[in-house]
Amino acid sequence: MTHDPNKSTGGLLSDALTHVSSLVRNEVDLARAEVNENLKSAGSAIGMIVGAIVVALTALNVLSAALVAALTEAGIPAGWSALIVGVIFGIIAYVMLNKGTNDLKLNSLAPTRTAKNVKRDAQAVKEAYDDK
């Protein structure tokens, strides 16, 4: 940006508005890109939750019968064997579900870098106009 000492106030104002407009467009583009990146991360978290459900159901259906049978053969009554196996698989499913939902918290989706840039830019504009 060159400084022309003979430039009119209107020209200076026009330049300032052009720069501010460009800055706002760039920040909107950055925010859009950051939100898209965060949504991809949310997609992965949703995939984790779906995976947890599939694994939990498959594990419960395939392994629970075998484990109940093994515990019953070891001398534990069948009802208690089924309860023990159900609790173990329930804990595993809970841990996986908890991990997925923690990854989906709304604050992890917010465009934090863009917010910092907007604050920095606003401060720079304020300082530039305070100096004049």
* Average pLDDT along the chain, 132 residues, taken 10 residues at a time: 65 81 85 84 90 87 87 94 89 91 73 76 74 62
Threshold 0.85, pTM exceeds:
no
pLDDT at res. 86: 87
Residue 26 falls inside a structural domain: yes
Residue 55 falls inside a structural domain: yes
| CA torsion, ordered 85, 89, 94, 96, to nearest 10 deg | 160
| Tally of domains in the chain | 1
Give the DSSP H or E segment for 47. Answer: helix 9-73
The whole-angstrom separation of Cα 98 and Cα 68 is 26
The whole-angstrom separation of Cα 81 and Cα 70 is 8
Print the domain residue range for 61.
13-112
pLDDT at res. 101: 87
Residue 128 falls inside a structural domain: no
Q: Find out whether 48 and 102 touch, Cβ atoms under 8 Å.
A: no
pLDDT at res. 107: 64
pLDDT at res. 6: 64
Q: Find out whether 33 and 117 touch, Cβ atoms under 8 Å.
A: no
Q: Find out whether 109 and 35 touch, Cβ atoms under 8 Å.
A: yes
Residue 118 falls inside a structural domain: no
Helix count (H) and strand count (E) of the chain? 3, 0
